[in-house]
Amino acid sequence: MEHISDHDLERYHLGMVKDEAELAPLEEHLLWCPECVKRAEEAADYVDALRAAIIVGNFDLNWLFFSLSSRWRYNGFGRTCTCAA
């Protein structure tokens, strides 16, 4: 199996991967691939930060950028971030 995509890691964290045929290989891959485990943790942090901003109603992009900037950096692809630490 190739590495898990950022999109699928986000879906997994949100509980959107329900089909056992998709879920089993994904979870098995996470058992032995430290790179994907790290990226899964980063995706979880990213999703949780956005979720918190929505709940609080704080859509101040400066707040979001600076709250994540010590751990994340823009990767140039527009949507996802990668850990800088």
pLDDT at 69: 58
Model confidence at 64: pLDDT above 70: no
Report how far residue 47's alpha carbon sits from residue 68's, in angstroms, rounded to the nearest whole number: 11
Give residue 60's pLDDT: 64
pLDDT digits (tens, 9 = 90+) for 13-45: 999 999 999 999 999 999 999 999 999 999 998
Query: What are the C-alpha distances in Å from 23 to residues 18, 65, 83?
Result: 6, 32, 25
Both structure tokens of 24: 């089993």
